[in-house]
């Protein structure tokens, strides 16, 4: 089957990197900066989808979630903390690099993330070294599980759904992709993903 699949779509957070700004990270931020986590989290949920869709920038998000009142720390201190939470998953990156080397695959991201975090993570972890293009919510103004972000990725790649494969850690997002005819793998850990790839004819 590997001969029929020409494009591999990957989520970023939860697959090749840790998440960009998840609940655990927000809890850690609240503890580190002595914030009311419940208030911060409520404000986050009201604003984050808007940020992820590229409709506001990071400063605007922070103004409404953290800096709506005077703080004893600076915006830059908080941004630096946010960026520092991102870690790579080298074992998965190694697997993807091996696929790219061994097979004639185009590899692209389909990701929900805000612009500043996305750009930081792409550059920090050199994702452009093995990904050919990035269909990220902040760039295209669609956000998973909106079907349009998957359709746009297919259009950019100029690939039929059945000739593509999507790896994502959130089962519902994989279900949406599959409903459009895209092959899907729910990523839980390296070995399960490696085994699933072998079922599609990719052995690394």
Distance of CA 96 to the CA centre of its chain: 15
- Residue numbers of the chain with a pLDDT score lower than 70: 1-3
pLDDT of residue 2: 53
Choosing among 3.90.1150.10, 3.40.50.1000, 3.30.1300.10, 3.30.360.10, the CATH entry for 7-19+87-199 is 3.40.50.1000
For residue 73, give the 3-state DSSP assignment. Answer: coil
For residue 32, give the 3-state DSSP assignment. Answer: helix
Residue 34 in tokens: 């002595």
pLDDT of residue 3: 57
This prediction has a pTM of 0.93
Choosing among 1.10.10.10, 3.40.710.10, 1.10.150.240, 1.10.8.80, the CATH entry for 23-84 is 1.10.150.240
Residue 180 in tokens: 């459009």
In this structure, are residues 194 and 41 in contact, taking their beta carbons and an 8 Å threshold?
no
Residue 196 in tokens: 């699933």
pLDDT of residue 204: 87
| Alpha carbons within 13 A on the beta-carbon side of 53 | 13
């Amino acid at each position: 089957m590997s001969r029929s699949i020409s494009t591999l779509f990957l989520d970023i957070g939860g697959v090749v990197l840790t998440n960009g700004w998840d609940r655990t990270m927000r809890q850690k931020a609240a503890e580190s900066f002595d914030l009311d986590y419940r208030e911060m989290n409520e404000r986050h949920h009201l604003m984050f989808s808007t940020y992820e869709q590229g409709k506001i920038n990071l400063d605007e998000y922070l103004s409404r979630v953290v800096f709506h009142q005077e703080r004893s720390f600076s915006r830059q201190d908080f941004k630096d903390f946010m960026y520092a939470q991102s870690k790579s998953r080298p074992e998965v990156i190694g697997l993807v690099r091996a696929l790219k080397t061994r097979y004639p695959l185009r590899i692209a991201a389909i990701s929900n993330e805000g612009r500043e975090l996305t750009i930081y993570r792409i550059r920090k972890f050199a994702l452009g070294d093995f990904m050919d293009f990035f269909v990220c919510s902040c760039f295209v103004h669609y956000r998973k599980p909106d079907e349009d972000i998957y359709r746009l990725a297919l259009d950019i790649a100029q690939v039929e759904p059945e000739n593509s494969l999507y790896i994502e850690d959130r089962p519902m997002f994989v279900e949406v992709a599959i409903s459009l005819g895209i092959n899907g793998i729910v990523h839980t850990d390296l070995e399960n993903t490696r085994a699933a790839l072998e079922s599609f004819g990719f052995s690394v």
